[in-house]
């Protein structure tokens, strides 16, 4: 991460969506978790992470996704 520059939420969301389209769910989850770390009140992203865990067949993680 570059010092002196703020977090670019839109860039992270775009990267996450690209990973989803490529079927790289773990990478997408990692990008979405960066968004949640920067914006813990973004419930849409929290829900999306849960959905991705469901797609991976990990119901336990899907139901326990939490904000930092």
CA 35 vs CA 21, 57: distances in Å: 18, 23
Q: Quick one: DSSP state of residue 64?
A: S
pLDDT at position 36, please?
93
pLDDT tens track for 18-68: 999 999 999 999 999 999 999 999 999 999 999 999 999 998 888 887 756
Would the pTM count as exceeding 0.75? yes
Spatial CA neighbour of 61 closest among 33, 37, 35: 33
Query: Is the pLDDT reported for residue 3 higher than 70?
Result: no
3-state secondary structure 30-46: HHHHHHHHHCCCCHHHH
Query: Is the pLDDT reported for residue 15 higher than 50?
Result: yes
């Amino acid at each position: 991460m570059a010092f002196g520059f703020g977090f670019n939420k839109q860039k992270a969301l775009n990267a996450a969506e690209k990973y989803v389209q490529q079927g790289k769910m773990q990478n997408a989850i990692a990008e979405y978790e960066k968004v949640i770390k920067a914006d813990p009140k973004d419930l849409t992203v929290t829900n999306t992470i849960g959905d991705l865990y469901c797609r991976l067949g990990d119901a336990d993680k899907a139901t326990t996704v939490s904000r930092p």
